[in-house]
Structure 1
């Protein structure tokens, strides 16, 4: 009767795997739940203007952990700042009442809060508030559902190429093909997503080419990063990268609410990850003519460089390994077909 002994250390390994999975689930819950539970205005930039000392008095009363208040000379200056994405909205105290300037496309949650703030100021002054939505969503998608829904295709547009191309073109010999395929896919898929959002669902407007370039850059940042991690560290690297993008990048992207609606620190982390930077760049290109898109574009470019750099390091390491194997096989003097394939794989 044959007895199969359990290999030494199996119990310890199983325990570590179970604990790691439990920690992963706990981290997932924290990443999705904590930002929502602590959501609200956090240093949202707004502008104020008014006659005499009215603007300064309003700033002194409002400025704090929720609002980052900036004083402007005229209501026109406030409007320009809102349209340019410099501030989320603004209040202008006039003889007729309080003009509230918002940009719903820049962040629906912040727009609601600024509107409520304007109503409160109007009540204090015993007057009326008039809301001017300077950068709204499109008429066909007034709530921005298409913009919010675009995040998941962009994330999976980075994950799928790394996963599928890794299986179709495995090993060191397929690394460059995987990298070229991921970049090509980013161009095609990014252009397609922009076309669907602009011409299919009419969820965005603006310059199609600029919007498409932003989405392409976002997908390229995700796909090259995951490919680089996979090439350099194997499936463990791919799993880590995928978990990072999904468990942190997705809930901290701020695409639905705007980054200022996330708790301090969380929003900053989200904007430094490809999903958050991709969402901010899409919003800037689609509704603000590219204003405010410089920083997220830079963040995405850095991620592309990191991903390509990891892939090149893996390629260099693979070439050294291939060269060593070739010397060993050639030195043996018995090179058959299987050995030749091993030496070049």
Structure 2
């Protein structure tokens, strides 16, 4: 065996180390994806209650007893106000305490899991209660499966784009242009599939495509910037953050308020969670409640561009001494 072969053999880690590392990675993946679902429960879910003050206080007490800490209840004067709060995405649903016909208002498009929970509570509070879905999901996708399943492609799209561009395109502005162009084409393609084929979206096609494009662009440009600055480790770290934190904490399969405290806030500050909330708002609520998640996506996109700019400055800074050294040697 040659000297080079001996050196390569020494550099290889022991088999047991490889096995331990793979086991740790597998465990992290399991925790990241299973833990939020296993600990899913309502936590300060905002709902409205309309009716006489004594009846409202009674319902608050019963809900607090049935689901401690589960709901953040706001009293409203009438049913019309409750409906407006739902359509503005201020609350997920409402309870209208009408002596003749109690009613529970839901919005399955805002979160089917929360709507199902409120429907179950309706029977517990009053067997006569009628359930009305104020903002329902599309008839072609009544369970919201398309939107929930679309969370992973959004994340993978950004990661794959960054990984492919770093391998196939020379470092520079072309990579950024490629990422932004792919974000637009990817947004148009995914929105078309989800809206026109699967029937999971409603509202403006271009609006839905724009949100998806911002999400893909925010992820891919940020990863490109990290790779530009610190190399492959930056790409790996950014990709792992988006996949292991952003995707499971997005709340797209349920609602952010169904996730463990603190983690739900983090999830909404990452591109996948912001994209999910913005998509629900743009597709089903005429844009109500979309401002904050769109700002989050815009900040990630701007931050990614800033990282790319810093990477470009660093590259030019390294190139100047290299050229100077080369000219000195030639002289």
Could you state the TM-score of these two structures normalised by the residue count of structure 2?
0.92
Give yes or no for the alignment of 1:284 onto 2:281: yes
Q: Counterpart of 1:30?
A: 31
Runs of 4 or more, structure 1, over 3 Å off, are 1-23
- Counterparts of 1:22 and 1:298 in 2: how far apart (Å)? 38
TM-superposed deviation, 1:107? 0.9
Contact 1:59 1:70 in 2 (8 A): no
Which range moves more in the overlay, 74-83 or 6-15?
Answer: 6-15
Selected match of 2:118 from 114, 137, 152: 114
Displacement of 1:78 in angstroms is: 0.7
Matches within 5 A, 1:61-140: 61-63=62-64, 64-123=68-127, 128-140=128-140
Q: TM-score, normalised by structure 1?
A: 0.88
Compute the displacement of 1:206 (Å): 0.9
Which residue in 2 is equivalent to 1:185? 182
d(CA) in 2 for partners of 1:281, 1:311: 26
1:137 to partner: Cα distance: 0.8
Larger of the two Rg values belongs to structure: 1
* Cα separation, 1, equivalents of 2:298 and 2:22: 32
Between the aligned partners of 1:17 and 1:276, the Cα distance in structure 2 is 33
2:206 is equivalent to residue 209 of structure 1? yes
Q: CA RMSD in A?
A: 2.1
Give the CA deviation at 1:97: 2.7
Larger mean CA deviation between 295-304 and 99-108 belongs to 295-304
Checking the alignment, whether the CA contact within 8 Å between 1:62 and 1:69 is kept in structure 2 is no
Any conservation in 2 of the 1:217–1:300 contact (CA below 8 Å)? yes
Report the Cα distance in structure 1 between the residues aligned to 2:22 and 2:233, rounded to whole angstroms. Answer: 14
Question: What's the CA shift string for 1:87-144, capped at 9, x where partnerless?
Answer: 1111001022320100001111111111111211114xxxx01010011111111111
CA pair 11-205 structure 1, distance change in 2 beyond 3 A: closer
**Partner residue, 2:225:** 228
Match of 1:60 in 2: 61
Tell me the distance in 2 between the aligned counterparts of 1:51 and 1:163. Answer: 59
> Who is 1:150 aligned against?
150
Distance in 1 of aligned mates of 2:263 and 2:80 = 33
Q: Distance in 2 between matches of 1:251 and 1:93?
A: 37
Do the aligned partners of 1:59 and 1:71 also contact (CA within 8 Å) in 2?
no
CA–CA separation in structure 1 for the residues paired with 2:316 and 2:218 = 25
Q: What is the aligned partner in structure 2 of residue 341 from structure 1? A: none
| Distance 1:330-1:11 versus aligned 2 partners, 3 A rule | closer
